[in-house]
Amino acid sequence: MRHQMESLMQAIAASSHERLDAVANSKAQTARMLQSFGRERMASSREMNATLAADCAGRSAAVGRLLDDAGTARAAFAKSLHHMARVQRSELLKDCRLRGREVAKMVDGFQAARSEMAEELHGSLAASTQMIKSYVSGLLVWREGLRPAGGPRRGKLKS
């Protein structure tokens, strides 16, 4: 039995050494894995930071281009708007001048027509006045012919 006990003790001791070696190996492997993970994490972090920085720089450049394009477009729009306002003012002035000339022609035409009408009316009134004078003169002559000699000059005519 002693022999069995010694054999068992040796087996337990060997087993204990094997377990201690396995734990030490496991501990060393875990430490190596943690170090490897740390290095990979740091490399990945550096890579992600570099990508992020490059992305930020790219986006900043894109935003700068957009702002430049917007400023250029705004300046072009303002220039176009100013040009359009000048053209409209010019067209408005031309239209006003044209309408002013047309109104002046209409006024001149109206005044000429009014002068013609006034002359025609004056001639018609003169002719009517002459005709009325002629009738009155004829009536006076006729009245003188109807009056008895030495009779009154004024009064009713006897028919």
- pLDDT of amino acid 142: 85
SS (H, E, C) the chain: CHHHHHHHHHHHHHHHHHHHHHHHHHHHHHHHHHHHHHHHHHHHHHHHHHHHHHHHHHHHHHHHHHHHHHHHHHHHHHHHHHHHHHHHHHHHHHHHHHHHHHHHHHHHHHHHHHHHHHHHHHHHHHHHHHHHHHHHHHHHHHHHHHCCCCCCCCCCCCC
pLDDT at 15: 78
Which parts of the chain sit beneath pLDDT 70?
148-159
Cα 103 to Cα 92, 98, 99, 100, 156: the distances in Å are 16, 9, 6, 5, 60
- Residue 101: the pLDDT is 96
Give the pLDDT confidence of 65-88 residue by residue, as tens digits. 999 999 999 999 999 999 999 999
- The overall pTM is greater than 0.85: no
Instruction: Please give the distance of CA 127 from its chain centroid, rounded to a whole number.
Output: 69
- For the chain, the straight-line distance linking the first and the last C-alpha, in angstroms and rounded, comes to 198
What are 118's two structure tokens?
């006034």
Q: How long, in residues, is the chain? A: 159
Tokens found for residue 135? 């009738």
pLDDT at 79: 96
Per-residue pLDDT, 151: 56
pLDDT (0 to 100) of residue 159: 42
| Look-up of token digits 């068992």 | 8
